[in-house]
Amino acid sequence: MARGLGKSYRIATSGRSHDRLTEALVARAKDPFHRREFETFEALHDMSFDIPWGEAVGIVGRNGAGKSTLLKILTRITAPTTGRVELGGRVGSLLEVGTGFHPELTGRENIFLNGSLLGMGRSEIRRRFDDIVRFSGIEKFLETPVKRFSSGMYVRLAFAVAAHLETEILAIDEVLAVGDAEFQRKSLDKMRDVAKDGRAVLYVSHQMQTVTALCTSAMFIDRGRLVQTGSVDDVMTAYRDSFDDWRARQVEAKHRPGTGEIRLERVDTTEVRDPVDDTVVTFAVGANPEIVGKYFVSCHIVDHQGAVVAQCDSRLVSQWFDPSEPRSGELRIKNLWLKPGTYTIDAFVCQNGVFDGWRGAAAFEVLPHLPYPDLVMDEGVELGAVFADFDYEAW
Amino acid sequence: MSAPRIVITPPGRLNIPRWREVWEAREIFYRFGIRDVVLRYRQTAIGIAWVVLQPLVTAGIFAIVFGRVAGLPTGGVPYLLFAFAGTTAWTVFSGVLTRAAPSLVANQALVSKVFFPRVVVPLSTSLSVMLDFCVSLVMLGVLLVVYGVNPGWALLGLPLWTVCAVTFGSGLGLAASAVMVKYRDVTYVLPWLVQVLMYATPVAYSLDAVPANLSWLFAANPLTWLMECFRWSMLGTPAPPLWQIAGLIAVSALALAGGLLVFQQREREFADVI
């Protein structure tokens, strides 16, 4: 369906871009023949792929790889710079749940407004109205302005409208992270049905789990290029491997984001540990006497799916660091019982902006030991993001 | 699947709207219009009465300032009626223009997240303006009866002038809304410009008040033609010359075509710039 698709943004390198009409006019008057020089940034580069009917395709890639840009082009929100796309039908998009909802309008009015925005005709919305309401479970509040809805109700209603779209192609950008477990299951089922109907689903995510659960094939995008397409398992393996490569690159400070005025030199942690052990991270930061004021450090514990489990910002415990000489320090997280698996640590050094952002600065493995006195079957421990230190009493 | 094929290509130089898509988006047009109307009068105590109250008070002030203090002539029409008809007609043009212009920026969440023909956004604002206009017309009817003025057959021209005012306003509004996506200056310039235009156009005074050596300037203003046509149909004042009527229709059509052209040229970059 897509051939040689590309999208580049022009980033001005000479002079400023003119946000005000007067500025643009004055600049033009001063120097009428001046050609602005641009550096082109290629968000997508020469992509070609076909998506057959009945296929649910997961699009994975790291932040900034171009996943969302690709989806925006396919849903025609923005135009490609080169190439050509042929779509075999209407595209319904679920780019962000609830866009087009207006807080002052009632549930009923919003269903009609949102439905029409997503491309449904009036008769189509009327026909599906009852289904939508039933799916969302807000029957009682149809005449209430949605500003008085709880956030859960709001999301459920928004998703319900979008899920009942009858477009041939459905594009989804990580909306499953919302709602309770029951609703997420309902939504996943709904999306599987769409693919079973012989329509096509495009699902963008960096959560591997939902891609594996939902999709029949996958695409891996890295820095605007299509790296691999194929079965979900193959693509997932490639995606995971790329993480290791990428982490190796991050060790060199010049590959890392941030202004670089001050850099992290070392981030370490115990590589193998038990769930009940304290998480201890030691780090060393270089010096830069020219920086005015103190800086802070923030370490994030990230699980293998890319979800941040804990954010430990030194400002929260009023710890600031003096940039005039090299520093080292230790972060100790107590009573955080991580579940077995591999985790990485993202470390940041910031003041007003980010000096250094080192993702995947260290990694560790939590051994599959249960921190509880008794053993149960898997279903007793498989839910929950972390283990909790809890107790029961019978009265 | 028997669905229509959609082809996406990089934008060409002249980006003509796909009319079929615009037509399919008529439901959005309607829903946006409803939303504007509903939102404006929800959680207000007197609701739709504001529609009548605003032009009435404006006309009253004009009646005092221009009619009494300045003593400008109205060609024999009672001043309150004259000013009310003038502001009602003017509001169609200025209302469409001033509401269409900020509409894209106001809906930026939609523009950057959902695809639909963008033209629908500024155009749909005319729905709420038309509703206001209809309410004002009823009020005008009451005033006509009270003052015993009968516009006669000229009344039949009213729908045509209304269409002209809406297309004229929409054309400028389309262009303004597209430019505003990149240059927010329009937000500040436009209300001021509309106000200047209102004083430069015989809205609150009649052409009789214009000194003879300046009358060419007024005759060259298409908005003067618009106001003269409206007053002819609303108050039964003498008909404007035929060239002004033809000119009005031509200028309105040109404004709409030009506005569409400016709008479409910038449309594909809206989501990236807004």
The CA-based dihedral angle spanning residues B107, B111, B115, B119, taken in that order and rounded to the nearest 10 degrees? 70
Asked whether A312 and A296 are in contact (CB, 8 A), the reply is: no
Average pLDDT, chain B: 85
Average pLDDT, chain A: 78
For A316, residues 6+ apart whose C-beta sits below 8 A from its C-beta are none
Asked whether A85 and A2 are in contact (CB, 8 A), the reply is: yes
- Asked if A78's CB is within 8 angstroms of B268's CB, the reply is yes
ipTM above 0.90, yes or no: no
Q: Please tell me if residue B106 touches chain A, with a CB cutoff of 8 Å.
A: no
CA distance B224 to B243: 13
Pairing of strands A217-222, A225-230: antiparallel
- Asked if B182's CB is within 8 angstroms of A19's CB, the reply is yes
Residues of A in contact with B8 (CB under 8 A): 73-74, 76, 79-80, 84-87
- How far B147 CA lies from chain A's nearest CA (Å)? 41
Asked whether A321 and A285 are in contact (CB, 8 A), the reply is: yes
Q: pLDDT at position B54, please?
A: 82
Mean pLDDT for B144-150 is 87
Where in chain B are the domains? 31-273
Model confidence pTM above 0.80: no
Pairing of strands A200-204, A56-60: parallel
- How far A323 CA lies from chain B's nearest CA (Å)? 38
**Helix (H) or strand (E) run with residue B111 in it:** helix B108-111
pLDDT 10s per residue in chain A (395 long)? 555 555 555 444 444 455 565 666 666 555 555 555 555 666 777 777 778 777 888 888 776 677 878 888 888 887 777 777 777 777 777 666 666 788 888 888 888 888 888 778 888 888 988 888 888 888 888 888 888 888 778 878 887 887 777 777 888 776 555 556 666 677 777 777 777 777 888 888 766 677 777 788 888 888 778 888 888 888 888 887 777 777 777 777 777 877 888 888 888 888 888 888 888 899 988 888 888 888 899 999 988 777 788 899 999 998 888 888 888 889 998 888 888 888 889 899 988 888 888 888 888 888 877 888 877 777 777 788 888 888 898 88
Q: Which of residues 181-240 of A touch B (CB under 8 A)?
A: 198-199
Tens digits of residue pLDDT in B49-90: 777 788 888 888 888 888 778 777 777 788 888 888 888 999
CA distance B16 to B26: 18
Q: Which residue is it, tokens 């493995």?
A: A365
Positive or negative, the CA dihedral B205, B207, B212, B217 is positive
For A111, residues 6+ apart whose C-beta sits below 8 A from its C-beta are A125, A129, A132, A133, A157, A161
Chain A's closest residue to B181, CA to CA, is A19
* Amino acid (1-letter code) at residue A307: A
Q: pLDDT at position A34, please?
A: 52
Cα distances from B116 to residues B25, B28, B53, in angstroms, run 7, 9, 36
Residues of A in contact with B9 (CB under 8 A): 80, 83-85
Tens digits of residue pLDDT in A154-210: 878 887 887 777 777 888 776 555 556 666 677 777 777 777 777 888 888 766 677
Tell the burial category of A224 from Cβ atoms under 10 Å away from its Cβ (0-12, 13-18, 19+). buried
Name the DSSP class of B47.
Answer: T
Tens digits of residue pLDDT in A282-339: 998 888 888 888 889 999 998 877 778 889 999 999 888 888 888 888 999 888 888 8
Model confidence band, residue B245 (pLDDT cutoffs 50, 70, 90): very high
